[in-house]
Structure 1
Amino acid sequence: MAMYAIGLSVLQEEISYEKTQVKQVAYADDLTGAGKISELRKWWDLVKKNGPTIGYTPNATKSILIVKPEHYEIGMRLFRDSGVTVTKDRQRHLGAVIGTPEFKQKYVEEKVSEWVKEVGVLSDIAKTEPKRSLLSIHTWPTTSMELRQAHHPSISHLLRPLEESIRKTFLNPHC
């Protein structure tokens, strides 16, 4: 990971905002850009040109251009020969979601449902191994980065089932 970070910082300098008008971020071996579609095409071409010289080989088949519905046709036209998937729908990205409010809500609800089940398992463990369950509950929230990363701040109502499960099942296991 450290080598990717060093390499990607060199690449990011080569494809900087000043050259492409694309805001970018890198995480491990993932590189993400955001901007106008025409600028993203320039950025993608620079990534393909400069990446391999530092050991970063972009994979078009794993790359997705997410556009607003009204920009879908231009995205398809500008990226038609690139191998990049163009979508106007929704997409997970580094554990977060990009898409309609309805898709985001559905995604959060599914995650909360999974976590409620996990709280149930932790509650069962707590009955026989309280120290182990305490350690688990302290490490568990770090996996919720997916929720905290890119969701609208007003999702608290969607988290209520999780809060209730923690309160009723884990903190009060006699219920």
Structure 2
Amino acid sequence: MEGTTQGDPVAMAMYALGLSVLQDVISFEKTQVKQVAYLDDLTGAGNIKDLKKWRTLVKENGPTIGYTPNATKSILIVKPEHYDNGVRLFSGSGVIVTRDGQRHMGAVIGTEEFKAKYVGEKVSEWVKEVDV
């Protein structure tokens, strides 16, 4: 119930142990979603219906171990042909559905156009910083 103090050297280990309980609940065997957890970020990949089930399990089981998912930070990246289905399935959830792409942990996932635009903007920022 209490957890650890922020900055405590064992805080991340304790958090990881707690998160491992959630990962058992949302495992591939139960959801067919390939997933990875890094710090307090969960990422899943799979078909849209499986992702909906996976997200529901996270939402239902996360808070009991101290993990509260934030729908406004949740982004579903879909292929263009699956966009309407994604919007329909995640309607009202607060999850952002995109067919273009999104930055994810320093990388970019999405269409070639989205990646090119993102990289172009980053390079422009770096050029400005170098000029300064």
1:31-60 residue CA offsets vs partner (Å, 9 max, x unmatched): 111100000000001001110111001111
| Equivalent residue letter for 2:65 | I
> Which moves more between the two structures, 74-83 or 38-47?
74-83
1:108 equivalent in alignment to 2:83: no
2:87 matched to which residue of 1?
76
The 5-angstrom pairing of residues 10-159 of structure 1 reads 10-119=21-130
Deviation at 1:92, TM superposition (A): 1.3
| Equivalent residue letter for 1:33 | G
> Which moves more between the two structures, 112-121 or 5-14?
112-121
What's the RMSD between the two structures over aligned residues?
A: 1.8
Runs of 4+ in structure 1 deviating by more than 6 angstroms, as ranges, are none
Q: Percent identity?
A: 78
Deviation at 1:90, TM superposition (A): 2.0
Deviation at 1:88, TM superposition (A): 1.3
> Which moves more between the two structures, 76-85 or 106-115?
106-115
Q: Is the 8 A contact 2:33 2:50 kept in 1?
A: yes
Deviation at 1:16, TM superposition (A): 0.1
Structure 1 gaps of 5+ residues are: 122-175
TM-score of the superposed pair, with normalisation by structure 2 = 0.81
| Equivalent residue letter for 2:27 | S
Q: Is the 8 A contact 2:101 2:109 kept in 1?
A: yes
| Cα distance between partner residues in 1 of 2:106 and 2:42 | 14
Larger helix fraction of residues: 1
| Cα distance between partner residues in 2 of 1:5 and 1:115 | 35
Secondary structure of the residue that 2:92 maps to in structure 1?
A: coil
Larger strand fraction of residues: 2
Larger radius of gyration: 1
Structure 2 gaps of 5+ residues are: 1-10
